[in-house]
Amino acid sequence: MSTRAPFTVAVIQDGVLATPQQTLDATVVRIRDAAKKGAQVICLKELFNAPYFCKKLDSSRFDLAEPVDGQTVTTLSKLAKELQVVLVVPIYEKQGPGVYRNSAVVIDADGTPLGVYRKMHIPHDPLFEEKYYFAPGESDNPVQPAGLRGPTAEAGGFMVWKTRYATIGVLICWDQWYPEGARITSLLGADILFYPTAIGWHPAEKAEWGTAQADAWRTAQRAHAIANGVFVAAPNRVGFEPEAGTDGIEFFGHSFIVDPYGRYLAQAGTDEDTLIATCDPALIEYTRRNWPFLRDRRVDAYEPILARWIGH
């Protein structure tokens, strides 16, 4: 069995304030509180310091993007070093002129930014116009910003980082519906998959579909934990965010942390909350010995999955 020490994670479920700086300041307070309660690895929601700006096309919103070495990551790197915590910081990244990404920066407990995961699957739905704002992550030798160490392991654009406390994988929101991303990231050695998220209800659909949508969101990710024998943690945002010319979006929260059996270690409702749970790597080994899904994979038979469609 594993002799590695258990690690304690936190996910922060919250909304946004009037400005990015106000949101950053409030997030610092939440991170300090989570660290005080024992959290060692802390993950924020998708695009944590901005409103969800993808509800319509507006070129001025490219101004919200910032480089990885900008104020936000610099501030949180100093905080990570002070508190000796690992941070997963999802930001709107300006990689270069005209190239913008939906990204997450992993900062180790010594304050060193280790690298950047860039969202691989980009949705295009009413009120989720992300293809306009984000280039997808690269599937072949993704470029890391200068001065960053990069991932411990990488395959096809999916990555893991060996941090002080755990080996972590990060996927972002729409990625959570794809078992391929979870499987590859797990095979790279992740102890836990983090899914920072911004998902919510269209107000006109909530009465008919709201419960089913939230349940499907959690069920899909719990299945990743079970199928891969890993811990999974998903922080979602909360609150109603209006948008002129639309009905807005109500972000439904329901953040959670589950173990390799898909059992809830912590779960939230629709209010702001910080979830904290301790994850024992020994349970990963135990689960995979008794449910040897990775051993029994037919890797010789899976080439058809590379096709977009194989039906007639």
Identified catalytic residue from 43, 45, 46, 55: 46
Mean pLDDT of 28-52: 98
Catalytic site includes residue 119: yes
Mean pLDDT of 203-214: 96
Identified catalytic residue from 45, 119, 241, 279: 119
CA 7 from chain centre, in angstroms, equals: 18
User: How high is the pLDDT of residue 310?
Assistant: 92
Catalytic site includes residue 46: yes
> Two tokens at 148?
């960053």
Residue 124 has pLDDT above 70, yes or no: yes
Report yes or no: 6 and 280 within 8 Å, Cβ to Cβ: yes
Identified catalytic residue from 54, 55, 93, 173: 173
Half-sphere exposure of 274 (CA within 13 A, CB side): 22
Any idea which residue has 């590379």 for tokens?
306
Fold of 7-306: Nitrilase/N-carbamoyl-D-aminoacid amidohydrolase (3.60.110)
Catalytic site includes residue 241: no
Confidence of residue 143 (pLDDT cuts 50, 70, 90): confident
Better-scored residue on pLDDT, 144 or 21 = 21
Confidence of residue 140 (pLDDT cuts 50, 70, 90): confident
Exposure class string for 41-69: b at 16+ Cβ within 10 A, else e = bbbbbbbbbbbbbbbeeeeebeebbbebe
User: How high is the pLDDT of residue 141?
Assistant: 77
User: How high is the pLDDT of residue 78?
Assistant: 98
User: How high is the pLDDT of residue 68?
Assistant: 96
Mean pLDDT score of the chain: 96
pLDDT tens per residue, range 246-270: 999 999 999 999 999 999 999 999 9
User: How high is the pLDDT of residue 2?
Assistant: 66
The domain limits of the chain are: 7-306
Confidence of residue 1 (pLDDT cuts 50, 70, 90): low
